[in-house]
Structure 1
Amino acid sequence: MFVVTAQADEIAAGCLVGFASQASINPPRFLVGLSTKNHTFRVAAGATHLGVHVFDTRHLEVVRMFGSQTGDTINKFDRCSWHSGPAQTPILDDAAAWFVGEILERFEMGDHVGHLLEPVGGSPPQELEHWVSFGDVRDLEPGHEA
């Protein structure tokens, strides 16, 4: 599971994402699917970059907050520690690893829109972590319908 962040027009947004994958080795590419009903999707529509974060299970509460709340009703960034990264993309300080990718293309994928990213900066994990997986969040009530 990934937490994806975006910023456009001075509005920061972020959500929990399950549809994401490496898409190419050379050149490096990563694919993120954002639900069209999601606040983060609407902010990302005006963004040039996305932040992609993985979390250790020690910080499961941050992941659960990004998955169970909607930016339509709360400011998630008031409830966690973060800083501005490459291209002013919000970077979550509790993430075990993260990267920022420039959005190269957007395309429809049913009820999600794919964002093809070219990594431009990031921070790899410092040690082997116990990554948050679907099993850790399967009981979440999403902040919006899928």
Structure 2
Amino acid sequence: MTASPDLGARTASPDLLRSVFRQHAAGVAVITAAGDHPVGFTATSLNSVAADPPLISFGVGVSSSSWPVLAEAEHVGVHILGEHQRELATTFARSGADRFGTSTDWHEGPHGVPVLAGVPAWLVCQVVARVPAGDHRIVIARAVIGDPSGGGRPLLYHQGRFNALRD
């Protein structure tokens, strides 16, 4: 094997990490929680952790407007977005947006968690851990109830934009 030159290699930095992960297509989810008022944010860091017990994880910035509620919440909602929900993803990603205003179809679900309507799938999960990770926390939660029957094709995030699968 011959060594190849490290053309374009850069020292690790936040910008490098963002640039590398722009090349990684990720599913798009919205995480919600209830407090004095409902909160939510768009996440591309959602992962399945274990099947038994059924655990998921996601990252959230401690500077996020949702973090104070998520830091205390016993339960969270996890919503898998469909390709038809770019506007919803943008609303929950935008700082200062009225995420639960009249344009968002949602209801209070199990354990008081805000559940978004029209998504391909959703879960309500019980938070089991919040792990410090730099300027974020990794939240690990156990699924307690959900509905995977919404159907449709997933919304993806790639190259800094929301995208749909191509045939």
TM-score (normalizing by structure 2): 0.75
Q: Which has the larger radius of gyration?
A: 2
1:30-45 to structure 2, matched below 5 A, reads 30-45=56-71
Report the Cα distance in structure 1 between the residues aligned to 2:78 and 2:150, rounded to whole angstroms: 16
Number of equivalences: 134
Report the Cα distance in structure 1 between the residues aligned to 2:51 and 2:97, rounded to whole angstroms: 37
- Following TM superposition, by how much is the alpha carbon of 1:90 offset from its aligned partner in structure 2, in angstroms? 0.4
1:19-34 to structure 2, matched below 5 A, reads 19-34=45-60
- Following TM superposition, by how much is the alpha carbon of 1:86 offset from its aligned partner in structure 2, in angstroms? 1.1
Match of 2:127 in 1: 103
Provide runs of 4+ in structure 1 moved above 3 Å: none
- Following TM superposition, by how much is the alpha carbon of 1:139 offset from its aligned partner in structure 2, in angstroms? 3.7
Q: Is the 8 A contact 2:118 2:150 kept in 1?
A: no
Query: 2:25 aligned with 1:6, yes or no?
Result: no
**SS at the partner of 2:32?**
strand
Unaligned runs of 5+ in 2: 1-27, 163-167
Report the Cα distance in structure 1 between the residues aligned to 2:52 and 2:150, rounded to whole angstroms: 24
Unaligned runs of 5+ in 1: 141-146
Q: Which stretch of the first structure deviates more once superposed, 73-82 or 54-63?
A: 73-82
Q: Name the structure, 1 or 2, with higher relative contact order (CA <8 Å, separation 6+).
A: 1
- Following TM superposition, by how much is the alpha carbon of 1:134 offset from its aligned partner in structure 2, in angstroms? 1.0
Match of 1:138 in 2: 160
- Following TM superposition, by how much is the alpha carbon of 1:18 offset from its aligned partner in structure 2, in angstroms? 1.4
- Following TM superposition, by how much is the alpha carbon of 1:48 offset from its aligned partner in structure 2, in angstroms? 0.7
Report the Cα distance in structure 1 between the residues aligned to 2:150 and 2:108, rounded to whole angstroms: 20
- Following TM superposition, by how much is the alpha carbon of 1:81 offset from its aligned partner in structure 2, in angstroms? 0.7
TM-score (normalizing by structure 1): 0.85
Residues 88, 139 of structure 1: CA spacing in aligned structure 2 closer, same or farther, 3 A cutoff? same
- Following TM superposition, by how much is the alpha carbon of 1:21 offset from its aligned partner in structure 2, in angstroms? 0.5
Match of 2:105 in 1: 81
- Following TM superposition, by how much is the alpha carbon of 1:45 offset from its aligned partner in structure 2, in angstroms? 1.2
**SS at the partner of 2:34?**
strand
Match of 2:144 in 1: 120
1:43-54 to structure 2, matched below 5 A, reads 43-54=69-80
